[in-house]
A = this chain, B = another copy of it.
Amino acid sequence: MDERTHEHAEVLVDWSARVERGDDVVLSVAEGAHDLAVAVAEKLGERGANPLVTYDSDEVSRAYLRAHDGEFGTGEHELAMMESADVYLRLGGGRNTSALADVPGEVRQGYATATAALRETRMDTDWVSTVHPTRSLAQQAGMAYEEYRDFVYDAICRDWEALAEEMAEMKELLDAGSEVRIEKGGTDLTMSIEGRTAVNSAASVAYDSHNLPSGEVFTAPHATEGEVFFDVPMTINGKRLQDVSLVFEGGEVVDFSAGTNEDELETILDTDAGARRLGELGIGMNRGIDRFTDNVLFDEKMGDTVHLAVGRAYDACLPEGESGNDSAVHVDLITDMSEGVMEIDGEVVQRNGVFRWEDGFEV
């Protein structure tokens, strides 16, 4: 086993999930994540937690979903398990990212609807989602297996304490600010962040952050005006969106285009009223991620990028008791900021990929 797999497990159990003695842990293991499961089980043993290991196999799901008549029930046993769980650890990493490709969309949707309570309950645990580097994910990233492993561990095995401190600076600026402006070729966008709270997403439940890797600061913008061009391609619902452009007026998308699969973009924006408004502005600050791999878990955290999501906002960013931009979707789109400017209330915070507290920042 790669020595870094043990480091990954330690970061996950101790930094991210903060597992303690006696915690009831659901450990969800994808088909290709066996080695990481072994390493995590060792850490859970050391901490004196109680793991229940589940098998998250796309091939098993496919066989089940395709054979079912579509009138799905809810497994009371799974709900009971989740209600009693303290921690949920999802170890992704399959053997074929297209394993569910021939399951009709309405069947997946029907299953998702029937099991909504399960996901809600899972969100009440200290949940963390991570991935084990598999050949399938390497292929999706267009990388050799060894190369991809280096990429994943560079993103995950970081000094999270130090990054959390740096991100705290960005959070402070956003919390104090009223308006964010992003400006680069094809992009001039302003968003209000008045009254919103930023989340320092430092890959730990202690920071309300549930992805490993993470490394972004995000908030919930509103009253968006202007145009934005997303130069980073994203695969959404199995379709690759490239060169997406959105035009906002009064907080809503009034015009859009895409270099590929524009119809998919239209379908997303037409989901509901909330799908035409922004739910998230995220600032990628994980410099361990140095390239795009067509996997949002990594891409949106990449240093020197900004992502905007149309659809649902996170409650954590909103005033107590207020609910976010209501929508059934939350679709992230990414723009490269290595040649661009981000301002808060007219003051430049990042120029050409350099934050104002970093060496080399040009005033």
Which of B45, B48, B73, B82 has a CB less than 8 Å from the CB of A63? B45
| Bound: A31/B52 CA distance, A | 15
Taking CB atoms, residues of chain B closer than 8 Å to A65 are 45
Q: Closest approach, in angstroms, between the C-beta of A23 and any C-beta of chain B?
A: 9
| Bound: A176/B61 CA distance, A | 49
B34 touches A51 (CB 8 A): no
A41 touches B24 (CB 8 A): no
Which of B61, B76, B79, B84 has a CB less than 8 Å from the CB of A41? B61
Interface hub of A31, A45, A76, A77 (most chain B Cβ within 10 A): A77
Number of interface residues of A (CB under 8 A): 50
From known contacts A38-B60, A38-B63, infer whether A68 and B46 are also in contact, taking CB-CB under 8 Å. yes
Q: Does A43 contact B (CB under 8 A)?
A: yes
Q: Which residue of B lies closest to A86 (CB)?
A: B77
Which residues between 32 and 80 of chain A lie within 8 Å of chain B, taking CB atoms? 34, 37-39, 41-46, 48, 50-57, 59-61, 63-69, 71-80
Q: Closest approach, in angstroms, between the C-beta of A141 and any C-beta of chain B?
A: 24
| Bound: A132/B57 CA distance, A | 17
B26 touches A46 (CB 8 A): no
From known contacts A34-B31, A75-B52, infer whether A64 and B44 are also in contact, taking CB-CB under 8 Å. yes
B59 touches A38 (CB 8 A): yes
A39 touches B53 (CB 8 A): no
| Bound: A59/B37 CA distance, A | 9
B69 touches A80 (CB 8 A): no
Identify the A interface with B (CB < 8 A).
22, 24-26, 29, 31, 34, 37-39, 41-46, 48, 50-57, 59-61, 63-69, 71-85
Known: A29-B60, A50-B75; 20 extra A-B contacts, CB below 8 A, are A24-B76, A34-B57, A34-B59, A37-B60, A38-B60, A38-B63, A42-B64, A45-B63, A45-B66, A45-B67, A46-B67, A48-B71, A50-B77, A52-B77, A53-B57, A54-B55, A55-B55, A76-B84, A77-B85, A78-B81
